[in-house]
Structure 1
């Protein structure tokens, strides 16, 4: 008799935290449906996962676009299998002074980090509620806890996700469905390069291992925890400091690390 493995869905899975979430879910016994907008990198990620013995299906979709997000969701339904775990990990950022950054870039942060997360959470949570079980992991950030000079829209998008997840946790009590917020600090991914933040202090500093972040996130998810600050001891300590600083001090600390050129050698 062939055993049917549970199914997990991971967005933004072509690299970084998303790839590690997919890899480690496979290691925990899940089949996978993974997504990215970049077909070449997604195929490479799928090949790596299959080489480790994972059963993987890929769906190329730009989740910033409503029809594409809907198509991705429908593709997961065509498997004919219930989705047990969803990792809503896809996200984007952009650094720079708000008066100087491109409006299109800022709106795309909202489209992916906020709109696509709400869209897919709506679809998958309704299905999970019908089957009275399921888990969703939302990749937020410790940036959600601080005002974000030079990343104003990105930090605000992550603050939205924190509030959104906390509200869902309240609404879903007793349903058999859980939502967990994964809050990494600076992590060794393509994020800072894509956000045009290579020359900032935070962009140049040593960063957390995405495998460690993913492992801590999944441990929290399966333990039914509401949130986890994931990464190194340094990241966890930074979050503890953020909790006691007044907002003005938080913003100033963020400004010193995220300001363009703040990481350049003098």
Structure 2
């Protein structure tokens, strides 16, 4: 039975993707830090008539990718989908944020997807058709002061996805990068954003279910990059046309002015 692995699957977009894939006939492997939240998602998936297993693990910890790969190998030989969704942001000036916290974010946003993809790609290539979906962000399309490393890590993910996609042309594996904009998740709380900035984001937010449905459909259609929401598409397109200095000032006007 075809199986999908989703990291960061306990809530938000990851949870919504797990449920969407289950509705499309996939058994699901769930990985995140909270065992109780994972069990809740697994229960929902089983109610849809699909199998679900979960692994509670700090994915930013040393050797996390190796542990996940070994666990997946023990669960199935038919892994057909890898969704690299785990990640988070930190809001604040680079020099003021603790370096260890920023390194932890980079480990989860960049190194984990690379390591997990490298470990699981041989299994994916054995399938008649397989997919890798990397979750980036519209923040990846320009530098974002006070989200500097977060935006940079997501830009890396887009470049990694496109390069790998080209390398895998002609194989059974398709690579897609999904770049959501503001979404009604706990991202803002985890990033340390204040209520004023959260209120701004909420005005244009999509739901996790909307983002998940769009992203999974794009993945199964073999798209290279997918940006949900008309406003997000326009914004990303404009960044390619407007001088970088201008887009940086606009981003700073949104995010930096709310810092105390």
Q: Do Structure 1 and Structure 2 share a fold, with TM-score over 0.5?
A: yes
Cα distance in 2 for partners of 1:88, 1:148 equals 22
Corresponding residue to 1:35 among 28, 31, 39 = 31
Instruction: Compute the displacement of 1:260 (Å).
Output: 5.9
Residue in structure 1 matched with residue 174 of structure 2 by the alignment? 178
Instruction: Compute the displacement of 1:50 (Å).
Output: 2.6
Unaligned runs of 5+ in 1: none
Residues 33 and 51 of structure 1: CA distance in aligned 2, closer, same or farther (over 3 Å): same
Residues 142 and 205 of structure 1: CA distance in aligned 2, closer, same or farther (over 3 Å): closer
Cα distance in 1 for partners of 2:149, 2:199 equals 18
Corresponding residue to 1:244 among 241, 246, 251 = 241
Instruction: Compute the displacement of 1:261 (Å).
Output: 2.2
Residue in structure 2 matched with residue 211 of structure 1 by the alignment? 209
Instruction: Compute the displacement of 1:181 (Å).
Output: 0.2
User: 1:22 aligns to what SS in structure 2?
Assistant: helix
Question: Aligned-residue CA RMSD in angstroms?
Answer: 1.7
Residue in structure 1 matched with residue 188 of structure 2 by the alignment? 192
Q: Residues 72-127 of structure 1, C-alpha deviation per residue, up to 9 Å, x if partnerless? A: 11111102321011111000110001111111110011110011010001012122
Give structure 1 regions of 4+ aligned residues with deviation exceeding 4 angstroms. Answer: none
Cα distance in 2 for partners of 1:185, 1:131 equals 32
Q: Residues 169-207 of structure 1, C-alpha deviation per residue, up to 9 Å, x if partnerless? A: 111011111110001001110111000013353554321
Instruction: Compute the displacement of 1:130 (Å).
Output: 4.1
Cα distance in 1 for partners of 2:104, 2:14 equals 19
Corresponding residue to 2:132 among 130, 136, 141 = 136
Residue in structure 1 matched with residue 225 of structure 2 by the alignment? 227
Instruction: Give the TM-score, by structure 1 length.
Output: 0.91
Deviates more, 1:37-46 or 1:125-134: 125-134
Aligned ranges 1:54-65 → 2 under 5 Å? 54-65=50-61
Unaligned runs of 5+ in 2: none
Q: Residues 195-222 of structure 1, C-alpha deviation per residue, up to 9 Å, x if partnerless? A: 0013353554321111111111111111
Query: Does 1:254 pair with 2:251?
Result: yes
Instruction: Give the TM-score, by structure 2 length.
Output: 0.93
Residue in structure 1 matched with residue 109 of structure 2 by the alignment? 113
Instruction: Compute the displacement of 1:39 (Å).
Output: 1.6
Cα distance in 2 for partners of 1:160, 1:202 equals 25
